[in-house]
Each structure stands twice: as C-alpha cells, then as structure tokens.
Structure 1
Amino acid sequence: MAAVDPYSPCPCGSLEKYKWCCHKAEEPALRVERLIRGEQYDQALKAVEEGLRKAKGAFWLLMQKAFLHERRDEPRQAAEAIDAILKNKPDHLGALAQRVELTLIAEGPRAAAAELQSALSAVKPEDRPIFGAVFRMVGAMLVRAEAIPAAIAHLEVAAAHEPEDAPIARQALRSIMTDPGILPWVKNPYDLASTPEGLPDDARSRFDDALQAADEALWARAASGFETLSADGIPGADLNLGLCRLWLGDEEAAVAALRRHSRAIGPTPEAVDLEALCQLIEPIGDDDLVEHVRLTWPIADRNALLAALRDAEQQKRTVVSEGQGILDPDDPEATEVDIFSMLDRPRPAARPGLSPADMPRVSGRILVARDSVLLDGFDVGKQFDELRERFTELAGPGIPPAHPRTTVLEKVPRVSLALRTEWILPEGQDPEETRRIRREEQIRVIREVWPEQPLTALGGRSPRQAIRDGDAEIPLRAAFCQFDYGPSRLDIELDALRAELGIPPEPTPDPVSVDIEAEHLARLPRIPAEHLDDERLWALYVRSRGTGQHLALRRSAIALSSRPNFLEGRSAAERYTVFGDLANLSASAGNTAEALEWVERGRRDEPASHRNANAPRWDFLALRIRARSEEPEQWVPELAVVLERYREDRSASQTVMTNLLDMGLMRMVPHPERPDQAMLDSRPLMAVLSRYGPRITTAAGELGVSASRPSIWTPGASAGGSSGAGVWTPGAPAGGSEQGGERKIILPGQ
C-alpha cells in the first residue's frame, strides 16, 4: 500500500496529483525523509543521490537535495537542484518558492523580492495565493533591511492570504504601523493614480493593464508598463512607476520616478510629502557618510585602567560611568563590559539657569572587557584623533603602547550626526530645568545648525543657500516637515521657526470637509482637532493611535477630553484609553506630574457607570507612570496596597495580571512537565515586594514585609491563601501542594 495517497498533492510541492508526479521515487524519498528527521544529513544526501540514479529527475528527491545543501550551507549546489526542477517544469510551485528562499539567504531581501516577482509571473493566477508565506518571509526580512514601504507591501499581500487563527503577517503590520519611531512618510498607504481621462485607446488599455498587474501584486510587470507610459508623457505614470519600484525595494528607481512626478504637479502637499519620502529612502553616497569606529587594545593592567577612569569621573568629571552591559545585545553569551562615556568638558553641578552650551557632549564610549578595552567614536577628522589621544593619556599604564585594532561598526549620515545632540546632564538636575534645556537645544539645532548643513536633496547646498536662491521650495518644505517628528516636538512651535527661516508654510486642512482616512499620515497633526465634529474627531484619534502618530494623538485626545458628553457615550475602555494615552504621552516626554494629573482627571470625571470597570486600570496606570521615574522604594509599597485592594475582586484579575506581565513582575515560563503549555513565574513580584514592600517591626524585633499582608497575593488566589497559591514558580512541585490540591493558573483573559 502506498504511503502517500495517489490522488493527494505531491509532496514535492508541484500541486500535481502524486500518482502523476513523484510516486516512482516514493521508496528513496521516504528513506531520505527519515534520515532528515534524524538529522543525519550526510547520509540523507547519499540516499538522495542513490535515489536519483534510479528515478532520474524526480522532483521530490531534487527538492530534498536542495534542502540538504541549504542545511550544509552550500547555496550553489542547492540552486542547481532547484534549477534542474524548473528546467523541466518552469511553474513548479515548490521549486519557485525554494528559489526565492535561496535568493533571500544568498543575496538579501531586495533580490528575493525581484525573484518572487519572477515566480509569480511563472504560475497561474489561481495558484499565486500559495506564495502568501513567501511574501511574509520576504516582508519580514525587508523590515530588517529597513525597506519599510516594501516590507509593508509584502506583508499586506501575506495578510490577505493567511488564516484567521494565525495572523502572523497582520501582527507584523500592526507592529510597524503603531511604532512611533517609523516616520509617517515611509508607512503612509499610497494609492496608485487612476487611468487618466481622454487617453487614446492604446494608452488607456496599457494603463489599465498595468493597474491590474499592480493590483495582483505583480509590481515588476506593472512597473514595466508604467515605464513605457512615462516615456510617452502620460500623467500619473511616474507616480505609479515610483510606487511599484518602492514596493519592490528598488529605492533608487523609485526616487527618480517620484521626483519627476513631484516636479510635474508643482509645490502641492502631495509633492512635498512624496519628496519627504524620497529624502528618507534615497541611498546615501559614501561622501555623505561618517564611520562609527571601534578601537581595541589589549589590557595591561585592568585595575589601573578602572582606577584611572573612576578618578577621571570623580575628580576631573570628564568621564561618566554608565554601569555594565554586553557587547552584543543579540548574543546571550556576549562579553560583559563596564561602560564609560568620555565628555568634551567637565560635567557641571546641577543649578538653575544652565544653558545648552554648558552641557558636556559625549565624545566617545569606553567599554572595558576582561582582557581588552574598546573605544567607540565617530571618525570626524581631528575630533576622533583628539579622542584617541585623550583616551591613551587617560589609560596610561592600563594599556600597552601598541596600535589598536580598528573595526568599522557602521556608517551614519553626516547630516544626522550634525543634528544629533548626545550629552550628559548634571546629576540631580530639576526635571523642569532639564526640559527647558532640551527645548532650547532643539531650537538651536533647527535655527543655527540645520540651515548650514549641505543636503543631498538640495544638490549639496545648505538650506540657507537654497532659500536665498529661491528654487527649491518642495525639497525645503519636505526637509523641514521632518522636524515635526523630532524627539522634542511637543514643546516647540515650528511654524514660527519656519517663518523665521523664510520657508513657506504648510496648509491647514479644512476641519469641516477633511477626509480623515484619506489624509496623509504626516498631515494628521495639522488638522485642527478642536474644530472637528465628534465623528471626525474620534476618527482622527483612532487613526492616529493605530499608526503611531503621537502628536496628532495627543491633540485629538486633548480635544476629546473636553467633550465629556461624547466620551460618556463611549465604552468604559474607550474613555479610559483616551486619558490613558494622554498620561502615557506626558510620561514619555518626562513630565510625570502632568501624566499623573491626566490619570486623576480621568478618574475624577468618570461617569459612575464606568468606575468599577476602570478602577484597577487607573491604579495600575498611575503605578506604571511612577515606576518610570521613581526608585522602587517609592512605588513598590503602593503596588502592595493596590494588590491588597483587589485581593478578593475577581473581576479585576485580568487587568492585574496583564499589568504585572507588562511590568515584568510576572513571567510566562514553560510548564516543567508539559512543554507545550505555559505557566506563570511570580518570583520577580515576590522579590520586589520582599525587598521594597511595606515594612514593620516583627515580634522578633526584625524588619519584614508588613504583617497585615502576610503573603504575596496573586490574581486568582483566595484572600487567605498562601503566598504562591495561584502561580507556579520554578522549583515548586508542578502538580500542586499537599494541602492545596491542584494549583490554579490564572492567565490574562481567563
């Protein structure tokens, strides 16, 4: 009896019935499968060769051969096996998908994206959804390559074909869209231009065909069509050509086409936003890059070196210890190092009235390992030479008089380096003073530094030169718009600086007619939220929140907070989210007092119908905000009070547990006896409560955790339960205690 149903799809991935494809290779192929499962790859490869001598050209065996060569890190031989399949069957789905994967490994995601387009063109339209997983794989690697528009396009195709119960691509898309660190121009959903009216029949047919190809994710075919239309001067063809090239990860070609379109339509918001996109994705030439360099010396005397660094920190105040870290955060076995920052001037004492000019800049970082010391800095001419000389003088006998080993860590844009401020503030500086100094520095950079920087988008001219020449409105506006998303944007009035520099203003959308869903993401902060009707205001809030546009989110949430009647009509969770977002945004900006005020305002003005549901949410929100800026001694006692408050409130269990997990006070760990199941580890919570929780003097005269809370309660445990009643901890019996019976695990949502 055959091991594989003769009428099922062939295991080789061709989608042909097994009976008409690889059944003659069944015996050797099944033997190879057994060897692969046992990780006997050398024996499996020998078995493949033996099988191919008997069943020449068998696709199943050739697919196994490609897999085995890939596992042996032999991409050329793997590709030869795949090519042998495609020579006989060019539309073999499994081989086409495997070739994309091999290209991804050998040449990277952009080349894999091009290979995927070739694969799609080789198969029937009804078979293309099978490539959904390949789109997801390529999209994930495009994210790593920072080709975000192409990654989004690939993941959207993958999401359209993945099952509802395995939303991997949808989760990846949500992660990208909600990340405020990804600028709006690179993740905005751009639409292709429709076929223009009045075209000749031939041009209209070609435009329609190219749009159809793009709609089927055949972006390479669509780009070829739009390229010929662009050569004929057809309106909209350059926009569509640029977007298709963008989705393929071909940024250089995309920039050229999109800039042609921008010049054709003139200084409109669309042109400015497309130019901003071009400036962000345009490949940077070597002349505009600065090397981030690491110098490595062996250590002659580690104690002497550390003593010298600590002396420079305490006496000269030109070095600051940053504690310990590891060389490679992605490697759990990486070397642990002591980290120090070298400053360009002594660190001042905290006092009112300090200016940005008083702040010491970080010149470089010193990483002291067990047997070597590393100096990281940017190779900017004499500055780096001076940094090296300062370090060798400081290290003294701690390092031998030898030339260091030089490693280039990365290359960064020269302009980004010039606009970046990395400094060490005085210890104990008042938070309000710190915000003032940072605001003044951001204004200084925009007003004094940026206008003098040569920019590629301006043909190597500085903004001040381009303003004077008067011929670069679109790239100037696009470059300045990017300051809307700077780290200190919430505190700076950029329109006044724009006027001061002589850059034309950006238009304000009409609050009466604006289409929130169609507006470019970068334009959302310009919508006057306070003048929108309720429906549009809520739409602005939801879209800003779902796309990580924090400036628009803050403005829309503030406007909503002043409309209590509208919020009362929303659910308890929605109203909490509005005030919670305002609190978290304030906390992220370093304004803890303002954040806690938003918490109290949300709680105080809450409708009675919402209070019970939201009470634990408010308590934990305030706790988490305090935990950002306070020492554990200050906020952990309040944590104990909050846990006690909800000890017997099972309706609060999910909220409590979710917050404890998010704060890292609870951890999901594998079940010791059932690896496919997870359990909760409460040891971090126990540790912080034992160390920082409320204290009293016990009968023995010793300090301990408050006797009024004799155990560490966890959600799901009874009020009088023992300290671990609801949560298993590693080292405890998995099956439960002798008296308590089976342990109960309460997970979020249960």
Structure 2
Amino acid sequence: MSIDPYAFCPCGSGKKVKWCCAPFLTQVNRAFELLQEGQHESAHKLFQELLQQHDNRAALWLYYAEFLTHSGQWEQADAALDQALQRDPKLGMAFYMRGQLRQQEGEIQGALMLYHKAAELIAPEAKDQLLNVYAKIADLSHQCRQFLATIYAVDRALQLRPDLPELHRYHEDLFGPNSRLPPTARQRHALRRTRRSIPESFITGRLSDARQGYEQLVQQTPDDPAAWFNLGLIYAWQGESLRAVEALYRSLDAEVDDRLAEQTGTLVEVLLTALGMESVANYLYHFCSMTIRDFQRLLQLFEEKYRLGAIAQMQFHEEEGVLRGFFMEEIPTLAMSEHTPVYRIRARFMIIPPELHLISLDQNQAQSLAQELYEQSQMALEPPRVWTRTPDPRELPLLYGTLVRPGYESDPEVQRRRLQYVADYFEGTWLHQPLKSLEGNSPLDAMGSPRLRKRLFGAVRFMEECYRAVRGLPDQPSEETKAEAEQHYYDFQRLRHKLGLEYTNVATPEPEAEAAQAAVPAAVSSQQASTGEIAGHSTSRATPASVPPRDISAMNIAELAALDRQVMSVDEIEQAMRAALRLEARELAVAFARAGVDKPFDPSKPDRYPLFAAAITGALVQGNYSEALDLIQRGEQYDSEHNRGARAIDYALKRANVYVRMKDVDHAVEAFERLIAQYPQEGKLYTTAAEEMLRLKSADKARYFADRGLRLAHQSQNRDLEEHCRELLAAAEKAR
C-alpha cells in the first residue's frame, strides 16, 4: 500500500511523513502485512533489521511495540516503549500505547493518566491520533464517573471531527436530558474571570500549561476564589478529582457570592461521586458479598421471601445470567392492623453465581440483612464480606426510594405518603446526617459556620438536581408546571427554609472570562458562548428565587418557637409538633403536644393520638410516670368520646410500655393480658409483650407470651410470626 508523503505521520509528531518517518515507514507497513499473512518470523526479522539501521529513531521503537502487542507479547512491547521514551521522552503516542497495555491489564486509573499525558504531547495536527486518545479518555472517564473529564474529552473529539455523527450521538447518550444525570454533572463548565491574568506564556491551548499558570496564580493571589475555581476545574478536566475538590474547597473559602458558592459546591458534590473518592465521599454504596454454597436452598429462601412480600421486582436476566431484585419492608402505619401498600427499600440484590451481592446506601441495612440471610439460609451461604464504593448520582434517590404494591400506583393517598416519606428523609434524617464535605458536621450544624454554610448550598443543590433528574423533571421548571409539580414532587425550598439557607450575598454581574477561557482549548460550544452560559448556568447574576408561601411544616426552629400556641388550631399545632420533631427540637415538640391535648374538641381533627403520644413520651423522658399514666387515661377517654375508640389499642400499648419503664412486671403483664384479650388475633401483641418481658429480665413471662404467639402463628399459618416467636423462645430459654 503506497504512502502519501504529504499526509500527517502516524507517529503523532504533527509532521508530514516526508519529513518524519519516511525512511522506514514503508518497511514497517510491510512487516504488518507479513504479520497479517501469518508470516510472524519474517515480520519480526524485518523489524530487527530496521532497528539495527535506525536504532536512534523513537518512532520506530513505537511501531515495533505496536507489532509486539499484535503478536500478544505484552512484556516485550512494554520494554520496546521504554526504548522509545528513552530516545524521545515527549513521544505522545508511546504514552497512548502504554495506556492501552495498562487498560488491557485492568489498571484503569493508570491507563487514564497515560492517555491524558498522551493528549498533551501529541501534536494538534495529528487529528486521527488525538481522536483515538480522547475517545479512550471519554470512555474510561465515564466508567470512573469522572463526568467533567468525560465532557471535556468528548468536546475535544468533536472539535477535531465535528463531521462525525456518532460523536454527537455519543455525547447525547451520555449527557443528554435522558441520561438522568444531575445538570451539573452533564453540562459544560467554563473558567471564571480572575483578578489577575495568568502570563501569556501559559496561554498555549494545552491544559498542562494552563494548569501550571493557575498553580502559580493561586500562590500569588490566594484569596481569589476564581483562581482556585479555575485550577480545580482544570484538575477535574484532567481526571484528578481529589485535587480538584481540594482546590474548589479553597475557592469556596474565599467566595463572597452565595450563588457562585452554590455552583462551586454542587460541582464538588459531583466530583465526590467519582470512583476512588471513597475516603472523602458523602455517600457510599455498602456491599455485602457472600459465596453461595447451596444455590437451590438459597433460591427456595428467596422464593419464600418473595411470596411473603419481602422481595420485589425479582427478575432473571438471561443474557447476563444475573438474578436481580429489591429487599423491602413496610413503612409502618399508626394503626397496627393496617397493611400499607408503600414499602421502603432495604437493599438491592444481585445473584451472579457463585456470589450473592447485597447493595445499600445504608450500612446498617446492608449488614443486618446480610446477617439475617446468612442465618436463615442454613449454611447455604458463606459469611458476608463487606466493601464500599461511591454511588452513581442517579442511584442516590434510593436513599429515600419507595416501592408500591401493584394496583396502588395512582392512589392519591399512596402518592401523598410516598411524597411525605421523601420529605421526612430530607427534613428529618438528612438534616442530621454528618457529611464529609461539611467536615463531618450535619447540615443543621453546618449552618452555624459561615465557611461551611457556603459548602451547604452545593450539598442541597446537588440532592435537588439528583431528585429532579431521576424523575425526569426539567432543570428549571416553568411557571406553568410549578403548581402541578408542588403536588407530586418534593420542593427543596422547604429544606432550604428549614435550614435558613437563603442567598444573602450576591455580587454584581461581571462579563464572561474571555481571557481566562483562552488559556485552554475551547470547552464551550459557539452556541453557548453566544448565549453567555458558564458552568451550566447563565452568566448573569440572577436574583434569588422567590420563596413560596411558608407553611408551618416548612418552618425552622426559630419560627416554630415564635408561634402563638394559644391561637393555633389543633391541626396547626400537630403540624408544628411534627416539624419540631423532624428538626430534633424535642422539648419544643413536647410543648406543642401539651398545648394540643388541652385544646377544646375540634370536629375537623378528632384523632389526637399523635399529640397525646408525644406528650406521654415527654413525661417519660422526664421520669414522670404518674403524669404519663394520667395522659394515657385522658387520651383514652377523649378517644372514646370523640374518635369512636379507634386508638384504644395504641393507648393500651402505651400503658404497658409505661409499666415496663417503671420495671413493674405485674402491672405490665396485666396490661398486656387485657390488650390480648381484646385483640386475640393481633400477632404483634404477643411478640411485643415477650420482648418487653425480656427487657424486664422476666424469662418465664416472655416464654409465656411467645408460646401463645406461636400457637396463633400455627393456627393462622403465619410463617413470619412463627419465626419471630421461635427466636423469642430461644432468647427466653437463654435468659433463664
């Protein structure tokens, strides 16, 4: 095959063949032809002759390494690349080929580092070679969830070959709206205007030069948030997520604009989901892996759990040979006999013989479920092995994910309860959850630190973006869709308001950082540049979004404490009590509860058990048992007169619980006996009574109640109740 002497040389030098590899390239091509024809020895001999003639030519050693890889001689190929780089340490294609070898060995991070190095060294004129390099970077970066590096690599590839429709499809598949990635993870980001420009000598179009320029600039102007942001962004484009996060934290520390702090903080949260960031990540997937000893016995256990409703969406994927599904549990209701159609997800599972993998964002759920299955499998599983990795942002909604029993999906009450479960997670659990990006503080505690408050903007925004993206909601809802969205989706403005997290410092608009952006290859399309979009947002400094009307359930602690309980209705007091409980303001919640139980009868709110229950708990915390018993008696009387006794069983359980707290075994037994006499078919009463007797170290009474529950389980063929009672009997026997 003839060679065009005026084509760019395949070694990546950017020179034409005539002035680069012409002395030996025809012979190199002949060697590869011999290899394809099966004449390996002749091809190898030809290369040896060429190397003797042109030993000092780095590119020839590069071609020889490629020949060895085609021959399956990986170690010899690596040695040949050593020879090439000794002769030319800046031979970009040698780094590219070595990256391929590392990728072949499964060293993904090492391969990425080499590909990035190759992209910096290969001449811009060598478009075909650079296209291959950026394709590798995009593919591996996406596997490692280095989203910014992926976008940058795809953009560079598009600049090289804008005529390739497959590149545009690839970008759309990875980062289009249907990708369900949060906007910050799939949008292009641009450099910001700095107080001082980097020297022109660093404005070469190469990331490595721009990086060096900003590394010097942050030393000269350490209080410039834009300089640190730009350095962090370049680190992220190069796939160095940890360094990027550290630089962006410095940017946040110096930032005075809350809106820019929110953008920077959200970018940090995206970077924390990359593989390899487990030590600093806010959220982790906890894996419990167990080797399967007896597959048939394990399958029987899973089928039984599926029949009992503990497993949902169990499906076998024949092509992959994988069994997948979810372990779930009911979200309890206040009425003990009511079965809810809404379930929370305990863990995902995958069976890939010979392994069972349990996967959960909740470490306790994963480990407790693994131990439960290990014990119930009767030696069908080996003990669990625990490990972690960062989750894909699209998987974070599993933190508050729910499943619904078939046929209930469109039930308005079910939709309301699912939405309430999301609200309870964010306004209860998440508010108090320590986050590493907040230096181990909870969001609520972080509000007390001006420095951490700036990081908190991004933590909230990131969770909002994940929530909206997975549900297919637009990045910015229109006014027409807001009203409908408020009925069906959680409004994160409620969370911001509970935290008191609102924009207070917003700088005046600045023009786009044209000089800064010129320091690196264009990463923003012409359309974006013309519309002034930077970092996925408009460059104009928008005023803070207007806050919707503040209902009681969305108030923060200070606002709740300022409410006048005397003029509030019973329903408003209950809302305030629940809001205080979600904020862990327990004393305030009890104060609302006590005010609520003293209110005159309100026909619109006949059920006051939640208020009485909170007031009773408050009395128990103070050790005031007589007040607790008095409240129970008042509650029973009120419930009988105004609520048709619907809560009788709940008040009776409360009374028994008070006697347990008092360590009064006789009165506790008497209370449980009366309760069981009224509701003999309620299995949970027997197990609750047995558990409380064990707490009181009364093994005989525990055995008595567990035995009665076991008889009921046999009569009703309730396997779950039977198993629970047998466990209690074993515990009672052990305690004797």
Question: Which interval holds the TM-score relative to the shorter structure?
Answer: 0.5 to 0.7
SS at match of 1:472: helix
Aligned-pair distance for 1:53? 4.1
Aligned-pair distance for 1:440? 1.2
- Check 1:137–1:507 CA distance in 2 against 1; reply closer, same or farther (3 A cut): same
- Contact map agreement 1:104 1:138 (CA 8 A) in 2: no
Aligned partner of 1:32 in structure 2 is 31
Aligned-pair distance for 1:39? 6.1
TM-score w.r.t. length of structure 2: 0.57
Aligned partner of 1:481 in structure 2 is 461
Aligned-pair distance for 1:233? 1.3
- Contact map agreement 2:286 2:360 (CA 8 A) in 1: yes
Aligned partner of 2:417 in structure 1 is 437
The aligned amino acid for 1:256 is: E
- Contact map agreement 1:140 1:155 (CA 8 A) in 2: no
- Check 1:492–1:364 CA distance in 2 against 1; reply closer, same or farther (3 A cut): closer
Aligned partner of 1:259 in structure 2 is 249
Deviations 1:682-725 (A, max 9, x none): xxxxxxxxxxxxxxxxxxxxxxxxxxxxxxxxxxxxxxxxxxxx
- Check 1:69–1:422 CA distance in 2 against 1; reply closer, same or farther (3 A cut): farther
SS at match of 2:292: strand
The aligned amino acid for 2:399 is: R
Paired residue for 1:335, among 307, 311, 321?
321
Aligned-pair distance for 1:379? 9.4
- Check 1:231–1:25 CA distance in 2 against 1; reply closer, same or farther (3 A cut): closer
Aligned partner of 2:168 in structure 1 is 170
SS at match of 2:454: helix
Residue segments in structure 1 that go unaligned for 5+ positions in a row: 327-331, 532-750
SS at match of 2:291: strand
Deviations 1:513-544 (A, max 9, x none): 999643653679x989999xxxxxxxxxxxxx
Q: Within 5 Å, which residues of 2 pair with 1:375-454?
A: 376-378=358-360, 383-384=365-366, 386-392=368-374, 394-396=376-378, 400=380, 403-404=382-383, 406=385, 408=387, 410=389, 412=391, 420-433=399-412, 434-454=414-434
Aligned partner of 2:157 in structure 1 is 158
The aligned amino acid for 1:181 is: R
CA distance in 2, matches of 1:168, 1:247: 22
- Check 1:66–1:352 CA distance in 2 against 1; reply closer, same or farther (3 A cut): farther
Aligned-pair distance for 1:269? 0.5
CA distance in 1, matches of 2:505, 2:382: 57
Q: Within 5 Å, which residues of 2 pair with 1:568-607?
A: none
Aligned partner of 2:445 in structure 1 is 465
- Check 1:407–1:108 CA distance in 2 against 1; reply closer, same or farther (3 A cut): same
- Contact map agreement 1:319 1:341 (CA 8 A) in 2: yes
Paired residue for 1:298, among 293, 306, 309?
293
Aligned partner of 2:191 in structure 1 is 192
Aligned partner of 2:574 in structure 1 is none
- Check 1:79–1:442 CA distance in 2 against 1; reply closer, same or farther (3 A cut): same
* 1:225 paired to 2:210: no
The aligned amino acid for 2:48 is: E
- Contact map agreement 2:258 2:505 (CA 8 A) in 1: no
- Check 1:478–1:506 CA distance in 2 against 1; reply closer, same or farther (3 A cut): farther
CA distance in 1, matches of 2:219, 2:507: 34
CA distance in 1, matches of 2:125, 2:235: 24
- Contact map agreement 1:368 1:374 (CA 8 A) in 2: yes
Aligned partner of 1:581 in structure 2 is none
Aligned-pair distance for 1:460? 0.3
- Contact map agreement 1:290 1:378 (CA 8 A) in 2: yes
Aligned partner of 1:540 in structure 2 is none
- Contact map agreement 1:193 1:240 (CA 8 A) in 2: yes
The aligned amino acid for 1:462 is: S
Larger RCO: 1 or 2 (CA < 8 Å, sep 6+):
2
SS at match of 1:503: coil
Paired residue for 1:318, among 310, 313, 325?
310
Deviations 1:340-395 (A, max 9, x none): 544445999xx999769x635434537386xx573524496664454245334544
The aligned amino acid for 1:66 is: A
* 1:284 paired to 2:278: yes
- Check 1:335–1:13 CA distance in 2 against 1; reply closer, same or farther (3 A cut): same
Deviations 1:18-49 (A, max 9, x none): 56655654675344212332466677445533
- Check 1:74–1:254 CA distance in 2 against 1; reply closer, same or farther (3 A cut): farther
Aligned-pair distance for 1:246? 1.9
Aligned-pair distance for 1:292? 1.0
CA distance in 2, matches of 1:24, 1:432: 77
- Contact map agreement 1:322 1:341 (CA 8 A) in 2: yes
CA distance in 1, matches of 2:532, 2:389: 38
* Greater shift in the superposed pair: 152-161 or 383-392: 383-392
TM-score w.r.t. length of structure 1: 0.56
- Check 1:344–1:241 CA distance in 2 against 1; reply closer, same or farther (3 A cut): same
CA distance in 2, matches of 1:346, 1:496: 23
SS at match of 1:322: strand
* Greater shift in the superposed pair: 21-30 or 154-163: 21-30
SS at match of 1:420: helix
Please, what is the CA RMSD of the aligned residues?
4.7
CA distance in 2, matches of 1:120, 1:470: 41
The aligned amino acid for 2:294 is: I
- Contact map agreement 2:292 2:355 (CA 8 A) in 1: yes
- Contact map agreement 2:345 2:401 (CA 8 A) in 1: yes
The aligned amino acid for 2:67 is: L
Aligned-pair distance for 1:240? 2.3
- Check 1:494–1:507 CA distance in 2 against 1; reply closer, same or farther (3 A cut): farther
CA distance in 2, matches of 1:30, 1:336: 45
Aligned-pair distance for 1:451? 0.6
SS at match of 1:298: coil
The aligned amino acid for 2:422 is: Q
SS at match of 1:323: strand
* 1:245 paired to 2:244: no
- Contact map agreement 1:185 1:522 (CA 8 A) in 2: no
CA distance in 1, matches of 2:393, 2:182: 19
CA distance in 2, matches of 1:506, 1:109: 44
CA distance in 2, matches of 1:88, 1:152: 34
- Contact map agreement 2:99 2:111 (CA 8 A) in 1: yes
- Contact map agreement 2:116 2:137 (CA 8 A) in 1: no
- Check 1:430–1:528 CA distance in 2 against 1; reply closer, same or farther (3 A cut): farther
- Check 1:527–1:484 CA distance in 2 against 1; reply closer, same or farther (3 A cut): farther
Residue segments in structure 2 that go unaligned for 5+ positions in a row: 474-484, 513-529, 547-736
Aligned-pair distance for 1:299? 1.8
- Check 1:148–1:42 CA distance in 2 against 1; reply closer, same or farther (3 A cut): farther
- Check 1:299–1:266 CA distance in 2 against 1; reply closer, same or farther (3 A cut): same
| Percentage of matched positions with identical amino acids | 19
CA distance in 1, matches of 2:301, 2:189: 56
- Contact map agreement 1:262 1:274 (CA 8 A) in 2: yes
Aligned-pair distance for 1:274? 0.5
SS at match of 2:351: strand
- Contact map agreement 2:288 2:387 (CA 8 A) in 1: yes
